[in-house]
Every structure is written in structure tokens, then in C-alpha cells.
Amino acid sequence: MTEPPVERKAFDLSYAITLAAVFFTGLASAGLLVLKPLIVGALIDDYHFSPSQSGFVAGIEMAGIGVSALIVAAIGASWNRRLIILAGATLGILGSVVPVLSAAYILILLSRLMAGVGSGLIASIVLAVIGTSRDPDRTFGLYYIFTFAGSSLLVPTGVWVLARFHVPGGYILLAVLLAAVYATAHRFPVAFSGLHGDRRRRNLPRFPMKAAVWSLGLSLAFWFGLGGVWAFVERLGVQAGLSQVVIGSVLTVGPLASIAGALTASVLHTRLGRTPLLAASIGLATLSVAMLGRASSLAGFSVAVLIFSYIWPLFLAYLGGAMSILDPAGRIIAMSVTSQTIGMAVGPAVAGVIAGHFGYAAIAVLGLACFVVAFALLLPLQLTLRAHV
């Protein structure tokens, strides 16, 4: 008896173009984060800001991202997503023009808050829309591959622009990136409808509060620990007896490991399940942080950094997939932008206080404690996922 022929899905060009537009839009909003270290240094050198002033500029951008993402998640799920994207791009462009026209600290501070709000609006919609794709876990992996590859091109471009045109050039580059979003916004679904072919307007489901608590709690714990350790990874390398040049070389290779992590998520998809791979990500993060805290050689530090760089996009892809299952409307994953920004902002602050009292090795203990909490949240998250399948 012959087996029935396997039906092959035809390539959907329109869907591919839409994903490309969504991915580019996400990269444009991430430009603020990618170029942040370069622009912070330029503000100190060119506009003579103090390190604390530059730090406040960087911090207020993160605050704007977190606040706007939370607003979209809480009350904006039924808003016109194209208009939110366009509003975000407009705010980002306006917030990038002011530093070109003025070097006044307060004006730049307020304008970068505006730009952070704009980037948060875009990022929350991008993640919510990716969550409605046909294979969200795989699509998140592809998105992070695209983002890392784009960042690898954006960084040297930013270095060249800042060297030639200084601070104004850096902010003009961000404005040009965001201006391109005007051409991609029309590919986004207007409202909660999904990218997988269901274009009908549907009523929003009830917000899953318990699912939000477990998944966002897990996100916050992970990013609190990762953010605290990563902010001082250079100091941990110095503690291991390595030179600045060697540390810089190791950190330069890190993005390649991040691309490998995102590629792993795309290839594995959900064959092994989401929770086991989330557990593996947290387990490897725990291993890498323990190695960083005790590193005393180039080999130990390098392996720890590469593991560290590999696991976080893997974690992001599968947690994003889980959040998409728990809330197809994309509200939880939009809130994850806020949980990430809080973790990445508060984690380094707490780590700095701990390092001041107990030394840099104590930062690893903070990271390990956060990952233990993340492990503890996996079981209730798994039970909640089963209830939603």
C-alpha cells in the first residue's frame, strides 16, 4: 500500500516580506541600545558631559522604553498597531534631532526620554506581532539572528559616523534608521489578528493574570541576574588577571555565540519542548556565572563569556514562545520589554553596591541567587503552559 504524498507548503512571499519588515522595524528600534555605549562616550568627549550625566542620559532612555511598553501592554492591545509604530518612530526621530541642535544637558535628557518612549512603543508591537507568527519560537530565533547580524554592521557604521561627525552624526544615524520605519509600518496588522493568515478582527481574550505573574517573574529574575553580571564582566576579566585588549577581544567574539544561540532556537523549534530548553538556558547561565566568579585564566574567562553570550537569546526565544501561547494577544510579551529594562537597569545598580562592599566576585553570587529564583518559577510556569495547550 503506497503512502499518500506529503503535502508541501508553497513559499509565501507576502508572509516573508512582512516578517522582513517586522524584523527591520525591530532592528531600527534597537539601534538606540546598540549605539548607546558609543554615544555615551561621545557625549563625554564632545559635549563634555560628566560620566554621571551621560549615565543619566542612558538610564532615562531605558526608563522611557519600559514605561511605554507597559502602557501598550496594559491598555493598548486593541489600538491600531500601525499608528503606534508610526508614533514611536516620530517620537524617536524628534528625540534624536534635539541633541543635534543643542548641547544643553536638560534638553538632551528630556529628548532622550522621548526617544526611549518611541523605541519602547515600537519594540512592544514588534514582539507582540512576532508572537502571532506561525512558529513563534522559531521566528523569535530568526529575529534575534537578524538583530545580531544587523548590529554587527551598525556598530562599525556608528564608529565611523561618530568619528567623522561626532555626537550629531550618531543621533542623525538613529533618526535615519527610524525614518525607514515609515516604509515598513504598513506591513503590520492593524489590530490583534495575527501573522499566520487569520486576518479577521477578533475580540481580545481575558488577560491571563496568573500566567503573567509566572512568566514575567521569570523574565525579571533572569534579567536582573544577567544584567548585574554583564555590566561588570569587564571588571571580572581584570580580576582574572587579563588585559583590556584581551578582554575586548573575547567580548568581540561574544555576538557570534549569541547568533549561535538564536540559530539553535530556530533549528530545534519546540522538538524538545519549551520548559526543558528554558531550564537548560538557566542552567548554563548558572554555570557561566560561577565560572566568571572564579575565573583565573584566559581559557576560563573566555568559555564563561561565550556560554553567557550563547544562552540569553536562547532563553529569550523560548520564553517569548511561551508568552505567546499564554497570551495570543501579545500583552504579556509586550510587558516583557518592561521586565527586561527593569532587570537590566536595577541589576547593575545592585551589583555595583555589592561590589563596593564585598568585591567583584560577590556579583557572581548575586547572579547565582537570581538564577535560583528563575529555576523556582519554571515549575508553575510549566503547569500554566499545560493548562493553555
CATH number at 369 reads 1.20.1250.20
User: Residue 64 falls within a domain, yes or no?
Assistant: yes
Looking at the fold, whether 131 and 277 belong to one and the same domain comes out as no
Q: Which domain holds residue 173?
A: 13-187
Query: Looking at 152, 187, 222, which one is the last position of a domain?
Result: 187
In the structure, how many helices (H) and strands (E) does the chain have? 14, 0
- Do 183 and 222 belong together in one domain? no
Contact 383, 267 (CB under 8 A): no
Measure the CA–CA gap between 172 and 174, rounded to whole angstroms: 5
C-alpha to C-alpha distance for 18 and 35, rounded to whole angstroms? 26
Residue 240 has pLDDT above 70, yes or no: yes
Return phi, psi of residue 307, to 5°: -65, -45
In the chain, the number of structural domains is: 2
Count of residues in the chain = 389
Strand intervals (E) in the chain: none
The C-alpha atoms of residue 320 and residue 316 are separated, in whole angstroms, by: 6
Supply the pLDDT for residue 148. Answer: 81
**Amino acid type, 285:** A
DSSP 282-302: HHHHHHHHHHHHH--SHHHHH
Q: Which cell numbers hold the place of 193?
A: 489578528
- Whether the CB-CB separation of 64 and 190 falls below 8 Å is answered with no
Residue 198 forms part of a structural domain? no
Q: Is residue 245 part of a domain?
A: yes
For 28-54, write each residue's pLDDT tens digit. Answer: 998 887 787 678 778 888 898 886 787
Identify whether residues 134 and 248 lie together within a single domain.
Answer: no
Looking at the fold, whether 182 and 213 belong to one and the same domain comes out as: no
- Tell me the three cell numbers of residue 18: 512582512
pLDDT digits (tens, 9 = 90+) for 83-136: 999 999 999 999 999 999 988 999 999 999 999 999 999 988 998 888 778 778
Average pLDDT over residues 56-66: 81
